[in-house]
Structure 1
Amino acid sequence: MNNQEQLDDLIIDNLKIYQRQDQFRFSFDAIALVHFCRFNHRHRYIDLGTGTGVLPLIGTSLGAGHITGVEINDVVAQMAERSVTYNHKSDVVSIIHGDYRTMNYHQFGSKPFDGVLVNPPYFDHRKGEMPDDNNLCLALHDRCTTIEDVCNSASRLIKNKGHLWMVYSAPRLLELVNVLTVTGFAVKRLRMVHGMLYKPAKIVLLEAIKGGAQGLTVEPPLIVYSQPNVYTEEVSCWYERK
């Protein structure tokens, strides 16, 4: 184990995950996304840019049949593989080191996936300062991976009527919806995420269907904190699930 590496407790289903201080670490965005998904135990899913594998680990505990995580950063992909082994999830989670922008479903089997999960880079590289670390740029900023790249990759990898679940920057929601529409997705569910009540939403959870009919449900907002550093009842319930 690298001396910068640690085994962190996810506080969900007794899962633990390897992470390093010098690499991208998952955030609340991923936890909110995986609880927004609606999984089927018979279905296969793919997580684009899985990082250390938090979405596949929790997603298979929440009902997904199998999740394949794809990660371009070899160091992080290796940690994800060890997390899968540590949590005895090798039968339901696969980690692939590679670039999902160049992949299609034939590389994973004869049939496309039933659904895609993605927590993509969503900070606009044209605005604000960029991190000095290239790995953090890949994970956080859209300079290398645009939202067009993400949506086109999702479309190649899933079946017609397959589901796409994504967490994205709330101020860039219109941009995302436009790209999804052009790519052949119909946005079906939206949920805005607010740090606290009466604070503007910073992120949005979105479900879209490839080739789906129009018809959007805007769900009640997700409020993360009832007061500073105190989770709301809904969020607390996620972590109480053992």
Structure 2
Amino acid sequence: MSFFHFQQFSVRQAQTAMKVCTDATLFGAMTPVAGGERALDIGTGTGLLALILAQSGVASVVGVELDPAAAEEADFNFRQSPWRERLTALRVDVRDYAAKAKERFDLVVCNPPFFQNHSKSSDAARQQARHDDNLPRQDLLAAVDRLLTSEGLFHLLLPTHAVDSFLDLAGGRGLYLQCCTDIRGYRRNRPKVAALVFARQPGLVARRTLTIYGEEGGYSPASEHYLSPLLLRFASQTGKENHG
């Protein structure tokens, strides 16, 4: 059975089309948590982002997932984690959830289907996970608008080529870009994905580029800063810091 082991939790990913990857892990690790927030993970998949948020100190996380196999896997991962009392996996379309939910969230995160009008995988589950046919971005934004508190933040991971068009759609929903972090593998690479933060009030936009790997191999200092509380390779280092 396929597992990805982190320092404080493990992710079973045998039934889920999209596996744990560096971009998604880094995106979750970059999401700032003050502590005590109510969070929503749209398209939770294995539950990776929800688990990272729970480790970071949110009070509760609801992970919604349309695919039944992925929802079952997220539920399993939540129940096996140290934060099972704070994590809920729901097999539901976020549009239906938003129409009925009474709760609003301080933090909404989403690593959505990446490809729009691109060539499609022959694997049906992987296709659903990677394409936005089942959740058009207008519908995603409508759900976020309904579920986010007035002071809440919406964190989104997108391919860089999709950012500009998404910003236009978001502005129409009263969601304004607060921060954009372009993520690239090495300094010689062009960024392929961007981590975006939206708020309900417009303001100055912080922009930066984060490089995952150092030129000599291994993680860069910036990515190590975010990933060191999570990845097993940094476990001894984290232990020394906690007991130093």
TM-score, normalised relative to structure 1? 0.88
- The question of 1:23 aligning with 2:11 is answered no
Of the three residues 197, 213, 216, the one matched with 2:205 is 216
Once the two structures are superposed, the pairs formed by residues 153-192 of structure 1 within 5 Å of their partners are 153-192=143-182
- The question of 1:49 aligning with 2:49 is answered no
Contact 2:160 2:194 in 1 (8 A): yes
Residues 1-30 of structure 1 deviation map (CA, whole Å, 9 limit, x = unaligned):
xxxx322213xx331111116732132222
Structure 2: how far apart are the matches of 1:183 and 1:26?
Answer: 31
Once the two structures are superposed, the pairs formed by residues 1-242 of structure 1 within 5 Å of their partners are 5-10=1-6, 13-20=7-14, 23-104=17-98, 106-107=100-101, 110-124=102-116, 126-127=117-118, 129-210=119-200, 212-218=201-207, 220-227=208-215, 230-237=218-225, 238=227, 239=231, 240=234, 241=238
5+ residue gaps, structure 2: 240-244
Structure 2: how far apart are the matches of 1:233 and 1:214?
Answer: 29
Contact 1:170 1:202 in 2 (8 A): yes
Question: RMSD between aligned alpha carbons?
Answer: 1.9
Aligned-partner residue type, residue 204 of structure 2:
G
Structure 2: how far apart are the matches of 1:36 and 1:149?
Answer: 25
Moved over 3 A (4+): none
Higher strand residue share: 1
Residues 175-196 of structure 1 deviation map (CA, whole Å, 9 limit, x = unaligned):
1111110111011111110111
Q: CA deviation at 1:62?
A: 1.4
Secondary structure at the aligned position of 1:235 is classed as helix
TM-score, normalised relative to structure 2? 0.87
Structure 2: how far apart are the matches of 1:188 and 1:98?
Answer: 29
Secondary structure at the aligned position of 2:2 is classed as strand
**Percent identity of paired positions between Structure 1 and Structure 2:** 19
Count of aligned positions: 230
Q: CA deviation at 1:229?
A: 5.4
Q: CA deviation at 1:105?
A: 7.1
Q: CA deviation at 1:217?
A: 1.2
Contact 2:155 2:198 in 1 (8 A): yes
Residues 90-123 of structure 1 deviation map (CA, whole Å, 9 limit, x = unaligned):
111111111112222753xx43111200000121
Q: CA deviation at 1:162?
A: 1.4
Contact 2:17 2:129 in 1 (8 A): no
5+ residue gaps, structure 1: none
Structure 1: how far apart are the matches of 2:57 and 2:224?
Answer: 19
Higher helix residue share: 2
Structure 2: how far apart are the matches of 1:23 and 1:32?
Answer: 19
Q: CA deviation at 1:141?
A: 1.2
